[in-house]
Amino acid sequence: MRIPCPLCGSRDIREFDYMGHAQALDRPEPEAGAQAWDDYVHNRDNPAGPTRDLWFHGLGCGAWLVVDRDTVSHEITAAALARDVKGGAA
Amino acid sequence: MRFSGLRVLTEGLTGNKGWRPHWRDPAPKSDYDIIIIGGGGHGLSTAFYLAKEHGLTNIAVLEKGYIGGGNVGRNTTIVRANYNLPGNSEFYSHSLKLWEGLEQEVNYNAMMSQRGVLNLCHSDGQRDAFARRANSMINQGDDAVLLDREGVRKLVPYLDFDNIRFPIYGGLLHPRGGTARHDAVAWGYARGADSRGVDIIQNCEVTGIDVENGRVTGVQTSRGAIRARKVGIVVAGRSSQVAAMAGMRLPIESHILQAFVTEGLKPVIDHVVTFGMGHFYISQSDKGGLVFGGDLDFYASYAQRGNLPMAEHVMEAAMTLMPMIGKARVLRSWGGIMDMSPDGSPVIDRTHIDGLYLNCGWCYGGFKAVPGSGNCFAHLIAQDRPHPAAARYRLDRFRTGIGLMDEEGTGAQHNLH
Ligand SMILES: Cc1cc2nc3c(=O)[nH]c(=O)nc-3n(C[C@H](O)[C@H](O)[C@H](O)COP(=O)(O)OP(=O)(O)OC[C@H]3O[C@@H](n4cnc5c(N)ncnc54)[C@H](O)[C@@H]3O)c2cc1C
Ligand SMILES: [Zn+2]
């Protein structure tokens, strides 16, 4: 797999760390309740098909990316800087 | 049909014409007492123990593909009981004991080979951790032997003991650990369940779970609707999809794990050897292939194949540990879909729906669990209370934070195991 980093261009997957589903960007309010926090920390849609996850370009520019990816075909269709993305859910 | 040495000899002399299919190929009935979704190792052993130990036989195992096509036929076949944490310790101990009686119990040659599992250590800290682990294994009633460097050298002289980065300090030997022929285990349980009346229905994908007034009433499948009073979900990497049919969102992320095998060689590796520091482990199959693997690719995936960086990493670790392996040629590589849980331990529990039970979260270690998981899941389904050996595998431990089982001590969050 290669990830098209908006800052560095298309780079080998070896340069990136997978940081989990982009739902991590939708952090609940501290008082949102146990269910909201359980959903946030533990529960996942875990889709077989299109997904959106976070990758850290540690061996490149150091940016966090939101990547549109297919979990069945491994095709990567888009990558954006996490700081420009509001909320993680597609 | 019973297998015996005499039978094999007679068949061999008479052209092997007497063998029959090992299980029937029934059409699904419209109604069962119990439906097991998923015909992997865990689903088949669940059906077997329901029939054998609880006298329940009006059961269907629904498998969307074919028996042995999932992880049960894709793993590297290591069987062991060298866990540390209460919860895991008693469960894997229970499972290993079932392994030891399995071939007699199902009258099937699963090629169970207790060749010993040897974990290597490369620092004083790691050796201390092994001593602690060995003590908990012995406390659990299992076997553990702490070896010094010379003790390891006697068993496995072919390793690079003086590697500049990972010199070998010693090892933890678990003599009762070993390997088993993975698909034979699936076939043995399938045959054992079938002969007791269980319907094993292949090419039957579950597409929906029917619930009325908080109680499960049956399933929808690619071969029509089937009613049932109890339903067990045991679908490994596909747990999230099937649980979603009952409105559940699980603490599971599916990941890819790769494995590799070389062409057949003369016997050279007598044990299962693990090199934790390099995320590498190896054994030799009875056919002669060196079977080895490493860590997850580490991204969510449903592709039953991995990417090259992990393949490269595994080969490098192999060369670091045993340079002789450079002469072997890799024959095949493949991948399987792992149901990763946040704390790295599984779930065997009821759900919020009456009559619906869940078995998932086996991560990369569920082959050794096949007998124990089926045995405990059958107990839960039949009696509606957990088997003592699996009582801690609760689904709500993530929500409550009580009873988390983080065997590796890295944290109870996704992508840490
Ligand atoms: C490369 C690799 C190496 C491994 N090595 C080891 C090891 O050395 N030791 C160890 O202990 N463990 C190991 N494991 C882990 C172990 O293989 C798994 O944890 C275990 O096999 C999972 O349980 P199972 O056998 O029931 O899964 P599976 O065989 O995957 O069974 C699940 C079944 O459910 C079916 N299914 C899914 N969805 C549906 C549906 N909607 N309807 C009907 N059926 C459905 C699937 O087709 C599948 O057959 C390894 C795994 C891999 C991939
Ligand atoms: Zn970059």
* CATH of residue B363: 3.50.50.60
Q: Cα distance from A20 to chain B (closest Cα, Å)?
A: 7
Q: What is the DSSP string of B184-244?
A: HHHHHHHHHHHHTT-EEE-S--EEEEEEETTEEEEEEETTEEEEEEEEEE--GGGHHHHHH
Place of tokens 């865990």: B42
Q: Which of the listed residues B292, B324, B339 is the one where a domain comes to its end?
A: B339
What is the distance in A from the centroid of ligand 1 to the CA of A79? 32
Within a domain: A37? no
Whether the Cβ atoms of residue B218 and residue B37 lie closer than 8 Å to each other: no
CB contact under 8 A, B415 and A45: no
Q: Is residue A12 part of a domain?
A: yes
* B31 and B169 both lie in a single domain: no
pLDDT tens, chain B, 417 aa long = 788 999 999 999 999 999 999 999 999 999 999 999 999 999 999 999 999 999 999 999 999 999 999 999 999 999 999 999 999 999 999 999 999 999 999 999 999 999 999 999 999 999 999 999 999 999 999 999 999 999 999 999 999 999 999 999 999 999 999 999 999 999 999 999 999 999 999 999 999 999 999 999 999 999 999 999 999 999 999 999 999 999 999 999 999 999 999 999 999 999 999 999 999 999 999 999 999 999 999 999 999 899 999 999 999 999 999 999 999 999 999 999 999 999 999 999 999 999 999 999 999 999 999 999 999 999 999 999 999 999 999 999 999 999 999 998 899 999 988
- Mutational test site, ligand 1, from B301, B364, B373, B417, max ligand atoms within 8 Å of CB: B364
- Cβ contact B366:B71 at 8 Å: yes
Substitution target in B351, B400, B404, B414 with the highest count of A β-carbons within 10 Å is B414
Residue A18 inside a domain? The answer is yes
The boundaries of the domain holding residue B97 are 25-112+178-251+341-416
Same domain, B184 and B52: yes
Buried b (16+ CB within 10 A) or exposed e, B90-117: bbbbbbbbbbeebbebbebebbbbbbbb
> Tokens at residue B291, please?
């079977």
Nearest to A42 among B251, B302, B309 (CB): B251
Q: Which residues pair with B191 in a beta bridge?
A: none
| Number of domains present in the structure of chain A | 1
Residue pLDDT, tens place only, B280-309:
999 999 999 999 999 999 999 999 899 999
- Select from B386, B352, B390, B388 the least CA-distant residue to B373: B390
What is the CB < 6 Å shell around ligand 1? B 37-43, 62-65, 69-72, 74-78, 205-206, 234-238, 242, 257, 259, 293, 336, 362, 364-368
A42 chain-B contacts, CB cut-off 8 A: 251, 342, 398-399, 413-414
Closest CA to B159 of B151, B168, B150: B168
Question: Count of alpha carbons within 13 Å of B181, Cβ hemisphere only?
Answer: 12
- Cα–Cα dist B130/B1, whole Å: 46
Of B254, B299, B399, the CB nearest to A18: B299
* CA within 13 Å, CB half, B58: 10
Kindly state whether residue B192 falls inside one of the protein's structural domains: yes
Q: Are residues B124 and B196 in the same domain?
A: no
Cα B281 to Cα B350: distance, rounded to the nearest angstrom? 35
What is the extent of the structural domain holding A74? 2-27+47-84
Per the domain annotation, does A32 fall within a domain? no
Is there a single domain that holds both residue B154 and residue B186? Answer: no
The closest-lying atom of ligand 1 relative to the alpha carbon of residue B362 is: 19
Q: Which residue CA neighbors atom 37 of ligand 1 most closely?
A: B235
- Any idea what the CATH number is for the domain that residue A17 is in? 3.30.2270.10
CA closest to A43 among chain B residues: B251
Give dist(CA B213, CA B211) in Å, integer.
7
Counting one residue from A and one from B, how many pairs have CB atoms under 8 Å apart? 70
- Distance from A3 to chain B by nearest Cα, in Å? 13
Mutate one of B302, B352, B360, B402 to test the A interface: name it (highest A CB count within 10 A).
Answer: B302
Written as one letter, the residue type at B381 is I
Centroid of ligand 1 to alpha carbon of B363 (angstroms): 9
Q: Which of B290, B317, B339 lies at the terminal end of a domain, its last residue?
A: B339
| Three-state SS letters, B100-130 | HHHHHHHCCCCCCECCCEEEEECCHHHHHHH
- Record the pTM: 0.97
